[in-house]
Structure 1
């Protein structure tokens, strides 16, 4: 569906030429939701604008449904763009136009009949929950409602792909959740493939099947959501995960606690999240693990739990406990502490 092959986008500055996007490869299958996450300046917006050639890559290929847009004719590019909808952080609505007219703009530009325009506007306003707001103006709407108008406008051309450029970053948490629920519904009911960029890990957590992590234009890590949340490899990914879950304790805190034994992070996935394994360890090994931090994260395709525990035992006891937990599907990471032998 979407293939980005070794995409490079260069810009000139007073210090010379720099790569805003540096040899990035992405592949999104039909019907999936993929997310690109990175901090400010990582190259996310530039990358997503390369997908529909709002930014033309300096090198590399953009292939949509088998068509190489970077080498396509103007006519082929226009045809492909009609199947790619896009929503933005700041909505891009006309202030002097009603909700109806904002949704209708691309349809009128494409020459649809008045009857077809009315049918499509009505259909997609209903899908995004704005049937009663068609006569309203943007200044009469909340931020979430404005984004719903923008989503309806993007859907009005009945695209196969929806690009989301930080579509929730200007919204409060509750409104963000409602927009993410809407995107999930659109994906599931209409079968639209979604590629989004964000700097918010909770967005990735809630709706993405697959994740790409960008840093300074480079793709530093990519994986399924489950694997990324359970086995993050790159420091940037680990830093993002710490914004939504207490996966680590600081070295200074561990030192202040003056713990003997070991401080261990236990990561539970799938079935292991429902097992009373901490209680089993206490009963089986006659050791009382001290829980220092814990959380559970609900992803689109599964559940991940993290528990940081202190185990005051000998090295042999700790080895036996970690082996027992590993055999029960728990991922073990040693965070610190000292042994008492």
Structure 2
């Protein structure tokens, strides 16, 4: 559905050229939700603008449904863009237009007749649950409602692909969740493929099937959400995970508890999250697990449980207990103090 092949974008500056996107490859299959996460300056916004050629790459291919957009004439590119919807962080609504007109104006500009415009506006305002806001103006709406209008506007052209440029970063957590639920609904019920960029790991956690970690314009790590959440490799990925799941213990806590021996993070996936494996460890090996932190994360396609435990006992029995947990599908990793 969406495919980037060795895409590169360089911007000139007073201090020399800046490579914003460097030889990026990604492939979003039809009907999936993929996320690109990175810190400010990583190249996320440039990357997403390359997908609909709001920015033209210096090299590489940008393919939508197998068509390389970089080879299209201006007219054919305009037609192809109609199948690529986009929503933005700051909504980009016309302040002097009603909700109805904000959704309708792009359709009118594309030449749709009045009946078709009314049909589509009604349909997509209903999908975003704003049927009662036809005559309201953006100033009368909450941030979440404004974003829903922007989503309805993007959907009104009935795209195959929806691009999201930090669409929830200006919203409070509760509103963010409601918008993410809406995107999940759109993906499931309308079958629209979604690619989003974000700096919030909680967004990735809730709706993404697959994740790319972007740093200095390059994809440094990628994988399914479950793989990335359970087995991150790069420091940047681990830092993002720290924002939603404690992966380190502070030195003060270690000193306060006078911990000696083995402190381990246990990652339980799927069915293992409900199994009393630590009780088995205690009974089978005589090792006493002291739970220091614990949480459960619900991803789009699975559940992950994280425990940080201090294992007390003889070292050979601790090693045997960790091997037992590994054999049961539990990932174990030594936890470092900060």
TM-score where L is the length of structure 1 = 0.97
Aligned to 2:326: 326
In 1, the alpha carbon distance for the partners of 2:247 and 2:172 equals 25
1:23-34 aligned at under 5 Å gives the runs 23-34=23-34
Give the gaps of 5 or more residues in structure 2.
none
1:230-256, Cα deviation, whole Å (9 max, x unpaired): 000000000000100112213454344
Count of residue pairs the alignment pairs up: 337
Q: 1:336 to 1:237 in 2, by over 3 A?
A: closer
1:69-218 aligned at under 5 Å gives the runs 69-218=69-218
1:44-76, Cα deviation, whole Å (9 max, x unpaired): 000000000001111111011111001111122
- Cα RMSD between the aligned structures? 1.1
CA contact (8 A) 1:254 1:336 kept: no
Instruction: Identify the range of structure 1 (254-263 vs 109-118) with the bigger mean alpha-carbon deviation.
Output: 254-263
CA contact (8 A) 2:91 2:150 kept: yes
Helix, strand or coil: the match of 1:121? helix
Give the gaps of 5 or more residues in structure 1.
none
Helix, strand or coil: the match of 2:150? helix
Helix, strand or coil: the match of 1:333? strand
1:176-226, Cα deviation, whole Å (9 max, x unpaired): 000000000000000000000000000000000000000111111000000
The structural deviation recorded for 1:106 is 1.1
The structural deviation recorded for 1:314 is 2.2
1:277-316 aligned at under 5 Å gives the runs 277-316=277-316
In 1, the alpha carbon distance for the partners of 2:332 and 2:178 equals 35
The structural deviation recorded for 1:78 is 1.2
CA contact (8 A) 2:104 2:117 kept: yes
Instruction: Identify the range of structure 1 (280-289 vs 83-92) with the bigger mean alpha-carbon deviation.
Output: 280-289
CA contact (8 A) 1:277 1:325 kept: yes
TM-score where L is the length of structure 2 = 0.98
Aligned to 1:222: 222
CA contact (8 A) 1:148 1:179 kept: yes
Helix, strand or coil: the match of 2:12? strand
